Amino acid sequence: MAKNVLFTELQCCCLDPLTGFYRNGKCETGRHDYGTHIICAKMTSEFLHFSKERGNDLTTPVPEYDFPGLKPGDKWCLCISRWVEAEKAGCAPPVVLEATHVQVIEHVDIEILKKYEAKT
């Protein structure tokens, strides 16, 4: 059973749109997940713009990958490196702690994550 950053059972991040490296709604990871999609974040227009500027357009649908395109308010399992980059740039999206994989704390201090906790 995967754990979250609160050391309890990893909760579902989102089923609509269906997220996660394994497209099971959870921010689980494995050896083939080179992007390490382990942080459950609630999208903001500021972050979506930031990500698009960095070459990862999360707003445009890609039907061949069953990707609907994201809009503000959607929850999505992000690559930890992109979230850290956005945090340093001052535009990190809010984080759903219960749905964020415990491995995130290898990259980001829990106190920083708590400052970004999503109000759901």
The per-residue DSSP string of 33-45 comes to -TT-EEEEEE--H
Measure the CA–CA gap between 120 and 104, rounded to whole angstroms: 20
C-beta neighbour count of 90 within 10 angstroms: 8
Instruction: Please identify, in words, the CATH class of the domain defined by 1-120.
Output: alpha beta
The pLDDT score that the predictor gives to residue 120 is 62
What pLDDT tens digit does each residue of the chain (120 aa) get?
A: 899 999 999 999 999 999 999 999 999 999 999 989 999 999 999 999 999 999 999 999 999 888 899 999 999 999 999 999 999 999 999 999 999 999 999 999 999 999 999 986
pTM above the 0.85 mark?
yes
Please report, as a single letter, which amino acid is at residue 54: R
**How many Cβ atoms from other residues are within 10 Å of residue 120's Cβ?**
9
pLDDT of residue 6: 97
As beta bridge partners, residue 117 has 95
Strand (E) or helix (H) holding 79: strand 75-79
How would you label 101-116 residue by residue, b for 16+ Cβ within 10 Å and e otherwise? Answer: bebbbeebeeeebeeb
The answer to whether residues 35 and 19 touch, using CB atoms and an 8 Å cutoff, is no
